[in-house]
Amino acid sequence: MVSNKSSLSDDKVITLFEDKNSSLWIGTYYGGLNKLEYEEQKKSTESAQFKCFKSKGKNQNELSNNSIMAISEDDSGYLWIGTFGGGLNRFDSQSKTFLHFTHDNYDENTIGDNDVISLFRDNSGIIWVGTNLGEGISRLERKNVKFDLIKSKSTSSSKLNDDVVWSILKDRQGILWIGTYRGGLNCYDEKRNIFTYYKNNPANSNSLSNNHVRSLAEDNFGNLWVGTYAGGLNKFDKRSGKITLYVNLISDPLSIGGNQIQKLFIDSNSVMWIGVFGGGLNVLDLKKQTQSKPHFKKYRFDPSDSLSISDDRVYTIYEDRQKNLWIGTFGGGLNKFDKKNKKFERFRNDPKNPFSLQNDKVLCLYEDYSGNFWVGTSGNGLIKFDRDTKKFISYGANENIDADVIYGILEDEQKNLWLSTSNGIYKFFYEMGTATHYDLRDGVQSLVVGHTIKRLMVKCFSAELMA
């Protein structure tokens, strides 16, 4: 009846479904979703009361579309609703909210079409989704998507401008700075979900010098330092927006050692250590930036000096808890730098010594909570370095780590090491010597997960898709 708000919302009934609590769900052509609970089914047709769920186009938590074509239920008690035009909906009976799953032209893991006309749950718990207009069948699996992605190929108006990310930094204000391969510097305000982009503009001398950003660091004076692949070093004053450029000048021996900046690290004394690929280890005292012309001190490889840095291709810089500075090079192995006497101690591969560094291409370094020192290499994967005995031990197949290249290492609160590698992401519980592998099936965007594994961006969800 039209005057009865608790009656069936539409006489054009498309589908019926009985859930595990014996409630009857009715999908209608225009009237949305109706529920008739078990006790109401015992009443007369005049007194039985229906609960109606409809889309009003105002709330993301409501039904996405009022044309209901199919209904199913999973093992966890979630109700799945196929709509004609609004994709697939998951209904949580506890919170009374709907979660929408719609087709995305840029994502092969979405449903084939937003016109869902059939649903089937098989004995293994997989829900099969049939769609209209020849788009085939989609399979919805439990416990599949574990990683959230922020990407450029998104229907959202707020997104990255390039999906190749080389560096990530969260500043003191909680703003996320993202260095990309072609898109320059992306600034992401998570609270407001707003992106701002800083790119090179040849007509603007105050713009970023190069759109390939390799490394980021924040100092104590309100500046963001941006190392680029071919445009040298940029100092970005976040308050004024002014950018100051530092490039290598052959005519100036005090200029920075090269224009390919691979790594930036600022220590507690406001001294910036700069890894220049091909230009060695460069140092800039930020407390002396009041001088008109900054002086870059350079440590270069000297074949006649065994206490010089082992290679000018500096790839990574790391300071341990004892304030020792470690420098990984791309071909010259690992170096420990004594800041006091300005000398380097080299650790390189020695084929005659099974406990030497197994590979001289060092990409990342990390000291864990227990004081273990880890080395990520290009060619021999993960290596642990005992700084007391000076022995290197490889970790790989025995620990279920099938990756020769380790780009980044991070530890969580449970003492798991998270490894970004050439073969996806690994969660390595080093105390037990076991690893869990995450790849494309788990929502990882690519098997090659680059240098910027961060607690901020690579987050494994405890609440999975259908858990």
pLDDT tens digit string along 85-106?
999 999 988 888 898 888 877 6
Q: Where in the chain is the domain with CATH 2.130.10.10?
A: 13-140, 165-442
HEC string of the chain? CCCCCCCCCCCCEEEEEECCCCCEEEEECCCCEEEECHHHHCCCCCCCCCEEECCCCCCCCCCCCCCEEEEEECCCCCEEEEEECCCEEEEECCCCEEEEECCCCCCCCCCCCCEEEEEEECCCCCEEEEECCCCCEEEECCCCCCECCCCCCCCCCCCCCCCCEEEEEECCCCCEEEEECCCCEEEEECCCCEEEEECCCCCCCCCCCCCCEEEEEECCCCEEEEEECCCCEEEEECCCCCEEEECCCCCCCCCCCCCCEEEEEECCCCEEEEEEECCEEEEEEHHHCCCCCCCCEEECCCCCCCCCCCCCEEEEEEECCCCCEEEEEECCCEEEEECCCCEEEEECCCCCCCCCCCCCEEEEEEECCCCCEEEEEECCCEEEEECCCCEEEEECHHHCCCCCEEEEEEECCCCCEEEEECCEEEEEECCCCEEEEECHHHCCCCCCCCCCCCCCCCCECCCCCCC
| Domain at 165-442, CATH from 2.60.40.420, 3.40.50.1370, 2.130.10.10, 3.30.390.50 | 2.130.10.10
The model's pLDDT over 4-13, given as tens digits with 9 standing for 90+, comes to 778 999 999 9
The reported pLDDT for the residue numbered 284 is 96
The reported pLDDT for the residue numbered 112 is 87
State the architecture of 13-140 in CATH terms: 7 Propeller (2.130)
Looking at the chain, the whole-number percentage of residues with pLDDT higher than 90 is 68
The reported pLDDT for the residue numbered 467 is 28
The reported pLDDT for the residue numbered 289 is 67
The reported pLDDT for the residue numbered 244 is 94
The reported pLDDT for the residue numbered 175 is 93
Which parts of the chain have pLDDT scores under 70? 1-3, 58, 106-108, 134-135, 141-149, 151, 153-158, 289-292, 440-467
The reported pLDDT for the residue numbered 453 is 45
